């Protein structure tokens, strides 16, 4: 009985699924119950500072880690390596130069996820109207400046994170960059702080994303009705419950980002804007360069969505979610 209790207690303490539920109920849900999006500006700013800290540590670690690292030679070394407390100077290997040479273009089964994930990362369309409604002295020009600055800042952060992550581990970098560092460090205070910062940033971002989703559901199903705190709470709780189910049962976040990026994100970025423009703008002839560009944009979006979904499903068939891919 004591052994069983010890096992259950250990599982309770280490199982991250419980933490997901507790954080959702204790932090995300209360923030999601705010009536206006403007109050989340402070949490959004803090989450951005967490991601700046993440980027700074990734760049710093690139200067500290040599190449090649021992786990690049054998997967058997990957689970018990502690770079901070052990000598990991690699034994000379004939493929050292090849392993540590950056490749500008790599095409494999994972390539199908690249553009969909990028598309998913830059889907900010649902937040545009709620953010616009919260601006002081709002105008289209001011909203355009906000959008340009936000997208540029995110582009720089994503680009630098991906670049320095790749230049640290090259072909051995994993879908989750921080997880790759666990093959080098068993315990590192700075990386633990980075993990905490990223978790904080993601946690504080969820209420912002949830706000327009709930607004859309309310508009579709309860149009014309007065505001109800009960409905406000129930919709938020249902959305969070669905998110938790995905987090707990989907093996890797890459699968979610890839599939949503290839489907919903492609619709929001390529297909729907072009279709709306062609349908709503009546003042221009169909042979104008604006409408021709929109038609090309629409066609590219359709081809891209079908092609990406086909490649992702094909990869799932050959490499079921949850299984590791050979390098």
Cα separation of 69 and 66, whole Å?
Answer: 6
Q: What pLDDT does residue 298 have?
A: 92
Q: How many CA atoms lie within 13 A of 279 on its CB side?
A: 7
Query: Could you read off the pLDDT of 139-160 as tens digits, one per residue?
Result: 888 998 988 998 898 889 989 9
8 & 142 share domain: yes
Q: In terms of domains, do 300 and 321 share one?
A: yes
Same domain for 266 and 202:
no
Judge if 18 and 80 occupy the same domain.
Answer: yes
Q: Is 138 helix (H, G, I), strand (E, B) or coil?
A: coil
Predicted confidence (pLDDT) at residue 296 exceeds the cutoff of 90: yes
Burial class (CB in 10 A: 0-12, 13-18, 19+), 169: buried
Given 208, 223, 249, the domain boundary residue is: 249
Tell whether 284 and 178 lie within a shared domain: no
- The domain in which residue 83 lies consists of 2-249
259 plus 233 within the same structural domain: no
The pLDDT of residue 188 is 84
- Number of domains present in the structure of the chain: 2
User: CA-to-CA distance for 327 and 266, rounded, in angstroms?
Assistant: 29
Contact between 291 and 261 under an 8 Å Cβ cutoff? The reply is no
Predicted confidence (pLDDT) per residue in 200-213, tens digit: 888 888 888 888 88
The verdict on 79 and 163 lying in the same domain is yes
Count Cβ atoms below 10 Å from residue 64 Cβ, excluding itself: 11
Please state the rounded mean pLDDT for residues 25-50: 83
Percent of the chain with pLDDT over 90: 14
119 & 265 share domain: no
Residue ending a domain, choose from 249, 282, 314:
249
Whether the per-residue pLDDT at 20 is higher than 80: the answer is: yes
Report the alpha-carbon distance of residue 158 to residue 121 in Å, rounded: 9
Domain stop point among 232, 249, 266? 249
For residues 263 and 305, the answer to whether their CB atoms sit within 8 Å is yes
Instruction: Tell whether 244 and 257 lie within a shared domain.
Output: no
pTM assigned to the model: 0.72
For the ranges 74-83, 185-194, 316-325, the lowest mean pLDDT is seen at: 74-83
CA distance 105 to 113: 14
Residues 201, 301 within the same domain: no
pLDDT of residue 86: 43
Give the span between the Cα atoms of 33 and 11, in whole angstroms.
Answer: 32
> What CA–CA distances, in Å, run from 81 to 61, 190, 233?
16, 17, 46
Residues 6+ apart with CB under 8 A from 33: 232, 233, 236
| Same domain? 159 vs 70 | yes
Q: Are 217 and 235 in contact (CB under 8 A)?
A: yes
Distance between CA 203 and CA 23 in Å, rounded?
8
Q: Which one is predicted more confidently, 321 or 276?
A: 276
Q: Measure Cα distances from 247 to 23, 127, 129, 143, 154 in Å.
A: 13, 22, 28, 33, 24
Instruction: Please list, in sequence order, all residues whose beta carbon lies within 8 angstroms of the beta carbon of residue 147, skipping any fewer than 6 positions away.
Output: 124, 128
Under 8 Å between Cβ of 86 and 185:
no
CA-to-CA distance for 149 and 145, rounded, in angstroms?
6
Pull the structure tokens for residue 248: 């707990």
Q: How confident is the model at residue 199 (pLDDT cuts 50, 70, 90)?
A: confident
Torsion sign across C-alpha atoms 80, 86, 92, 97: positive
CB neighbour list of residue 40: distance below 8 Å, 6 or more residues apart: 31, 34, 204, 207, 208, 211
| Residues 84 and 220 grouped into a single domain | yes
Q: pLDDT, tens digit, for every residue of 62-104? A: 988 888 777 776 544 444 444 444 444 445 555 667 778 888 8
* pLDDT above 90 (res 58): yes
Helix (H, G, I), strand (E, B) or coil at 65: coil
Give the rounded percent of residues in the chain with a pLDDT score beyond 70: 85
């Amino acid at each position: 009985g004591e052994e069983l209790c010890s096992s259950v207690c250990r599982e309770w303490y280490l199982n991250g699924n419980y933490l997901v539920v507790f954080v959702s109920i204790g932090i995300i849900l209360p923030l999601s119950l705010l009536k206006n999006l403007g109050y989340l500006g402070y949490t959004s700013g803090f989450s951005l500072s967490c991601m700046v800290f993440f980027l700074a540590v990734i760049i710093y670690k690139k200067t500290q880690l040599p190449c090649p690292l021992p786990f690049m030679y054998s997967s058997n070394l990957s689970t018990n390596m502690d770079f901070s407390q052990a000598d990991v100077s690699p034994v000379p290997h004939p493929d050292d130069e090849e392993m540590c040479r950056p490749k500008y273009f790599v095409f494999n089964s994972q390539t199908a996820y690249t553009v969909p994930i990028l598309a998913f990362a830059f889907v900010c369309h649902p937040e545009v109207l709620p953010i616009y409604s919260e601006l002081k002295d709002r105008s289209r020009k001011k909203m355009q400046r906000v959008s340009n600055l936000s997208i540029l800042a995110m582009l720089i952060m994503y680009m630098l994170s991906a670049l320095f992550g790749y230049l640290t581990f090259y072909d051995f970098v994993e879908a989750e960059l921080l997880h790759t560092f666990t093959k080098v460090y068993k315990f590192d205070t700075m990386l633990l702080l980075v993990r905490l910062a990223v978790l904080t940033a993601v946690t504080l971002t969820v209420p912002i994303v949830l706000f327009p989703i709930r607004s859309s559901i309310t508009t579709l199903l309860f149009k014309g009705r007065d505001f109800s705190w009960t409905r406000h709470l129930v919709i938020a709780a249902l959305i969070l419950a669905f998110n938790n189910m995905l987090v707990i049962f989907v093996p890797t976040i890459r699968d979610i980002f890839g599939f949503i990026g290839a489907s919903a994100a492609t619709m929001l970025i390529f297909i729907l804007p072009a279709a709306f423009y062609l349908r709503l703008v009546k003042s221009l002839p169909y042979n104008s360069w604006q409408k021709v560009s929109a038609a090309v944009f629409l066609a590219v979006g359709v081809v891209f969505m079908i092609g990406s979904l086909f490649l992702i499903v094909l990869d799932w068939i050959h490499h079921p979610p949850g299984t590791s891919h050979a390098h």
